[in-house]
Amino acid sequence: MPAPATIVHVALGSNEGDRHRHLQDAIDRLGLVPGIEVVRRSSFRESRFAGDGPAQPDYLNGVVELRTALPPLALLGVCKALEARAGRRLPAPGNHPRPLDLDVLFYGDECIDSRDLVVPHPRWHLREFVLEPLRELGVDVAARPRRAAPRVVEPPGEFAALCSTWLAGGCVVGLVPTMGALHDGHRSLLEIARRECDRVAATIFVNPLQFGPDEDFAAYPRDLAGDLRVCAAAGVDAVFAPSVAQMYDPGFCSHVAVGGAASGMEGALRADHFRGVATVVARLFALARPHRAYFGEKDAQQLAVIRRMTRDLGFPIHVVGCPIVREADGLAMSSRNVYLGPADRAASTVLHRALCSARAAFARGERGRDALIARVRAVLATEPRAAVDYVELRAEGDLAPLPPGPVDGGRLLVAARFTDGARPVRLLDNLSLVPGPLEP
């Protein structure tokens, strides 16, 4: 019995060589492939190149409607072969002129999300040079599915299923766990993930497990609409934004206990904080099973705890630490910065100044662990608004305590409280004594 035929729409474009011949040739050759029948084609029309990069010649575009028994990836293979035959270099450099571009817009009503093929095409509805030919072919464009970008998912099971689809489609999946109130620091995590992965999921979840009873769980800044705009601009594919009840059902009672890097500093001041962080991150890892997960170096102790937990529990996930993003005056970006009153905001730069001062002393030859810590404390002491919680010099990476005496490097970590704003704010910062390639 012949395989059932599916109606498919393929967009055609060319802006190199004999554009008309390339498009007509592609349609003629599609019709010669066993299992493909050309139903009709739109007229061809000119369109201006509107992408990024250097100016390019105008395009000639159209859409062809096919009836096919080929499965989607086989059809894609035919399209790629025709592009190559027309002289297109493959793998194709992004946004360069091309003799032939064939994009599968729709494959019946199927939704496909694999590394090589996403159907419906994610941007079909944004392109007039696709919309017009589709209308000409009588396609009801208002009724065709459009992909929300990013797709917002709340039930954990749905998030897990979405990530499974990506994984099954051969995608490299990146996860960016956040508590929302996204700022430029988060934006840089999303952008790094976008560059390195085929699919990027951001999670937005203010995790009650990592807040103590007297901490700011209820007051933590929340702005889902703003966060979705940031995610859309960064090209995030999906946002997982569950409620607390969805994330932790009423019987939830299993936690990840952490030691090592979780001791001292934040671990000493915030009982169970890292237990809550490790628990939610382990749960997110189990749901998404990403290849790569992205965390900011601003929370250096959290990063060390997560790295250790990932190794200890055997998650096959590469934990990527991303450089701190700072305001122009040096303040490390944090969702809680919005709560600083004007005087504290001005005073808050003292953290970075103190860290830089010790780093400068190290560069001049100071090697004493305690002398370097004293250098940080001396600068902090010039700012009476900063109530210092700790200043520590720890080993790079695992943040193991360093013994007194000379050091040949390490990371300085500091936390201080500021209290003149809407509510008290604790700020954390850290700096490597030896500048890295991404940290001036």
Which residues are near ligand PAF by CB under 6 A? Answer: 177-179, 207, 210, 277, 280-281, 299, 302
Which residue, 85 or 183, is less far from ligand PAF as judged by CB? Answer: 183
Q: Which residue has the tokens 């571009």?
A: 101
The rounded distance, in Å, linking the Cα atoms of 128 and 47 is 9
| Residue type present at position 396 | E
Q: Smallest gap, in angstroms, from Cβ of residue 236 to ligand PAF? A: 15
For residues 115-151, b (16+ Cβ closer than 10 Å) or e, as one string? eebbbbbeebbebebbbbbbeebebeeeebeebeebb
Which residue, 198 or 299, is less far from ligand PAF as judged by CB? Answer: 299
Annotated catalytic residue 9: no
Helix, strand, coil shares of the chain, percent, nearest 5, are 35, 20, 40
Which residue, 270 or 377, is less far from ligand PAF as judged by CB? Answer: 270
Task: Say if residue 388 is exposed, middle or buried (CB neighbours under 10 Å; 0-12, 13-18, 19+).
Answer: middle
Which residue, 38 or 277, is less far from ligand PAF as judged by CB? Answer: 277
Q: Smallest gap, in angstroms, from Cβ of residue 408 to ligand PAF? A: 30
Q: Which residue has the tokens 């493959």?
A: 90
The rounded distance, in Å, linking the Cα atoms of 363 and 316 is 38
Catalytic residue among 9, 22, 186, 273: 186
Which residue, 326 or 367, is less far from ligand PAF as judged by CB? Answer: 326
Q: Smallest gap, in angstroms, from Cβ of residue 347 to ligand PAF? A: 24
List Cβ neighbours of 335 (8 Å cut-off, separation of 6 or more). 179, 180, 181, 182, 183, 220, 221
Q: Smallest gap, in angstroms, from Cβ of residue 406 to ligand PAF? A: 33
Q: Smallest gap, in angstroms, from Cβ of residue 302 to ligand PAF? A: 6
Which residue, 201 or 358, is less far from ligand PAF as judged by CB? Answer: 201
Are 295 and 304 a contacting pair, CB within 8 Å?
no
Q: Smallest gap, in angstroms, from Cβ of residue 399 to ligand PAF? A: 16
**196's tokens:** 């390195």
**367's tokens:** 């090697």
**260's tokens:** 């090592």
Alpha helices of 65-127 — where are they, by DSSP H?
72-85
Which residue, 194 or 377, is less far from ligand PAF as judged by CB? Answer: 194
Report which DSSP code applies to 126: G
| Torsion angles phi and psi, residue 367, rounded to 5 | -120, -10
Which residue, 63 or 415, is less far from ligand PAF as judged by CB? Answer: 415
Q: Smallest gap, in angstroms, from Cβ of residue 144 to ligand PAF? A: 36
Alpha helices of 297-385 — where are they, by DSSP H?
300-313, 342-347, 350-363, 369-380
CA 49 to each of CA 4, 122, 135, 146, 247: distance values in angstroms, whole numbers, following the listed order: 38, 18, 21, 23, 45
Task: Say if residue 421 is exposed, middle or buried (CB neighbours under 10 Å; 0-12, 13-18, 19+).
Answer: middle
Q: Reduced to 3 states, what is the DSSP secondary structure of residue 401?
A: strand
Q: Smallest gap, in angstroms, from Cβ of residue 228 to ligand PAF? A: 17
Q: Known catalytic residues?
A: 186
